[in-house]
Amino acid sequence: MIILLKGVIIVVALVIQLTLINSITILGLKPDLIMVVVVVFSLLKGEKEGTISGFASGLLQDMFSTGLLGINALAKTVVGFSCGILKEKIFHEHILFIIPIITFITSFMQSILIFLLLRAFGIEYNLAWSLKQVALPEALYSSLLSPFIFLAINKLFQMTKE
């Protein structure tokens, strides 16, 4: 039941990312809802769940993008694993204050990782411009949404335990 719920959450997040999020952009920027879901899964369930959900959701995102297949899967796998390690090191009493910070840092980390992967494949971008104009605002946007997404997913997980 819980695996089905996780799959539904990832698919719903992907559908929202591909449809609704495109209409609520701010200055052409949109949050990475899939990445926020991976961070939430990782902080709730640990590194194994974070790694698996990161890979699965990243691969799904890659299938619906025009970029290189596997870039998002690899980046989100690293994000899921990294955040899963943090699960044991954070105070869960203050998670609503910590999760935007973790989301901001991991979003920024994901942007740098994607930049390095694209560069390894010979696709050149201006790193300074990309970080300032795209990665920083998107990380901020995603981090502002993260507490609300955390509360919703946490509530869904608690309802399935009862």
* Per-residue model confidence (pLDDT) at position 131: 78
* Per-residue model confidence (pLDDT) at position 24: 76
Tens digit of pLDDT for each residue in 21-48? 877 777 778 889 999 999 999 999 999 9
* Per-residue model confidence (pLDDT) at position 21: 84
Locate tokens 């596997």: which residue?
70
Q: CATH assignment of 2-154, given 3.30.379, 1.25.40, 3.30.450, 1.10.1760? A: 1.10.1760
Give buried/exposed letters for 43-55 (b at 16+ CB in 10 A, else e): bbbbbebbbbbbb
CA distance 56 to 54: 6
Quote the tokens at residue 138.
Answer: 């998107």
* Per-residue model confidence (pLDDT) at position 90: 80
Mean pLDDT of 11-25: 87
Locate tokens 């890659």: which residue?
62
Domain extent listing, the chain = 2-154
Tens digit of pLDDT for each residue in 94-152? 888 899 999 999 999 999 999 889 888 888 777 777 778 888 989 999 999 999 999 99
Give the residue from 103, 2, 1 showing the smallest Cα distance to 43.
103
Q: How far is CA 117 from the centre of its chain?
A: 17
The enclosing H or E element of 134 equals: none
Give buried/exposed letters for 4-34 (b at 16+ CB in 10 A, else e): eebeebbeebbeebeeebeeeeeeeebbbbb
> pTM of this prediction?
0.91
CA distance 136 to 110: 11
Mean pLDDT of 59-82: 93
Pair 57, 12: CB distance under 8 Å: no
On the CB side of 44, how many CA atoms lie within 13 Å of its CA? 21
* Per-residue model confidence (pLDDT) at position 162: 56
Mean pLDDT of 78-100: 87
